[in-house]
Amino acid sequence: MGDTIVVTSGKGGVGKTTTTANLGTALAFAGFRVVLVDTDIGLRNLDVVMGLENRIVYDIVDVTSGNCRLKQALIKDKRFDSLYLLPAAQTKDKTAVSPDEMRYLCEDLQEEFDYVLIDCPAGIEQGFYNAIAGANKAIVVTTPEVSAVRDADRIIGLLESAELRNPKLIINRIRPRMVKHGDMMDIEDIVDILAIDLIGVIPEDEKIIVSTNKGEPAVMDVLSPAGEAYRRISKRIRGEEVPLMNLDVSNSIMDKLRRLVGMN
């Protein structure tokens, strides 16, 4: 039976959907059977990030309310035969699904797939509780900003009280140069504050925008630093030990100048 991992964050716009799409694609690339579940009912986006928006017939609410069978609603990925998407409903609201329905749905999916990845909506309302209801593991995504880390802390607390223990942390959109210049919190600062295990760090990468434009996850782009970071995280999910990506910035003129005046 497979793992059900919810990808959550509290704050919106920190990269939950991008993370879900990339990790799912990386796991499918490694040969696992993977299903991505979009639980952001009313604001679905995982379909466009995956480039599957034109193939949707049925959605998650059709499944939970019995309008169709589960298999009819699953959309096969363009690239990988072992990767599927269960899209969110766009015209309903978050109360259209209940936590119990999600639990049953995840149980059914776990029988067919090695990994069930759940893309959680932003916020801490019912959508959040639906998304975590069927999960046995959690990944918390944050960015190196005060607001995002604060919300992540709140989410970690809520996950704990929902008995989803040991959530793993992804720090997204880190800018090594800004960290070096003391203008961005670094990995250590954030891990120190949130006090949960780090499962990966993703550098800011313009290729993410390009890949989202095209509907092709960056993890398939060998030249994308963020793609590389996601590939490493997918290995850690599978239980491998992989070192963190080297995010050192090359020597800038400022570094040389600093060394010249003996400040380093």
Partner 1 sequence: MWEFIFRVLGRDNSSSRKHAKERLRLVLVHDRASISPYLMNRLKEDLIQVISNYMIIEEEEMELHLNQNDREVVLVANIPIKQIRRDYMERTQISL
Residue number with CB closer to partner 1 (223 or 261): 261
> Closest separation between CB of residue 124 and partner 1, Å?
13
Region binding partner 1 by CB under 8 A among candidate stretches 48-56, 133-141, 181-189, 209-217 = 181-189
Total count of residues recorded for the chain: 264
Residue number with CB closer to partner 1 (113 or 128): 128
The reply to whether 49 sits near partner 1 by the rule CB under 8 A is no
> Closest separation between CB of residue 259 and partner 1, Å?
11
Region binding partner 1 by CB under 8 A among candidate stretches 41-49, 76-84, 101-109, 176-184 = 176-184
Task: Determine how β-strand 137-142 pairs with β-strand 3-8.
Answer: parallel
The reply to whether 193 sits near partner 1 by the rule CB under 8 A is yes
Q: How far is CA 207 from CA 13, 103, 173, 175, 200, in A?
A: 17, 35, 12, 14, 18
State the maximum Cα–Cα separation within the chain, in Å, rounded to a whole number.
72
Q: Which residues contact 51 (CB under 8 A, 6 or more apart)?
A: 78, 214, 215, 216
The reply to whether 259 sits near partner 1 by the rule CB under 8 A is no
The reply to whether 150 sits near partner 1 by the rule CB under 8 A is yes
Among 93, 107, 125, 183, binds partner 1 (CB under 8 A): 183
The reply to whether 35 sits near partner 1 by the rule CB under 8 A is no
Burial class (CB in 10 A: 0-12, 13-18, 19+), 30: middle
- In the complex, which residues of this chain contact partner 1 (CB under 8 A)? 144-146, 149-150, 153-154, 157, 179-186, 189, 193, 254, 257-258, 261, 263
